[in-house]
């Protein structure tokens, strides 16, 4: 079910960050590709949620606006990771110790921020849907995030 999230993620970052030859996309092309990827990813996350949750009309009316806010906050965190990954890709051939540490610290910070965000929104979701449904939302979101991260990580060269 989650494989459809993996393909665009891998394609975008693989094509934008690692090309070292003349075919390397320009910065505006990279930004357009990343924006399209992010939009598609968030739409697919919403679709997975919609298909995986059973909400009454009253619950849905309260939940979906909150879920949009949750996704907006996630986008800010993902943007930080994308920026760090692009910078890492731009310096890959001449990566300094400082560049390597900056990249890994950015990833660790992103992980912490995402966990904090999920904890915060678990509480907010519990206010509008049953506890198990709120837990399911965070559980699904975490799984989707893990699938996406595995796909991206498999395409990003390790620090050398």
Report the range of poorest mean pLDDT among 27-31, 111-115, 140-144: 27-31
Question: pLDDT averaged over the chain?
Answer: 83
The whole-number pLDDT of residue 44 equals: 84
Cα 80 to Cα 105: distance, rounded to the nearest angstrom: 12
Name the pTM for this structure.
Answer: 0.76
Do 86 and 98 meet the contact criterion of CB atoms below 8 Å apart?
A: no
CA atoms lying within 13 Å on the CB side of residue 52? 20
């Amino acid at each position: 079910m989650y494989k459809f999230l993996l393909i665009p993620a891998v394609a975008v970052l693989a094509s934008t960050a690692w090309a070292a030859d003349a075919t390397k996309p320009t910065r505006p092309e990279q930004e357009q590709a990343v924006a399209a990827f992010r939009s598609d990813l968030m739409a697919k996350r919403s679709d997975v949620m919609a298909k995986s949750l059973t909400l009454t009309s009253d619950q849905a009316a309260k939940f979906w606006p909150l879920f949009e806010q949750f996704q907006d906050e996630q986008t800010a965190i993902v943007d930080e990771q994308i920026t760090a990954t692009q910078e890492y890709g731009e310096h890959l051939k001449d990566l300094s110790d400082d560049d390597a540490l900056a990249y890994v610290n950015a990833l660790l910070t992103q992980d912490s921020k995402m966990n904090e965000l999920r904890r915060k929104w678990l509480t907010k979701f519990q206010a509008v849907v049953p506890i198990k449904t709120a837990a399911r939302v965070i559980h699904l979101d975490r799984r989707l995030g893990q699938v996406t991260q595995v796909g991206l990580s498999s395409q990003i060269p390790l620090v050398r």
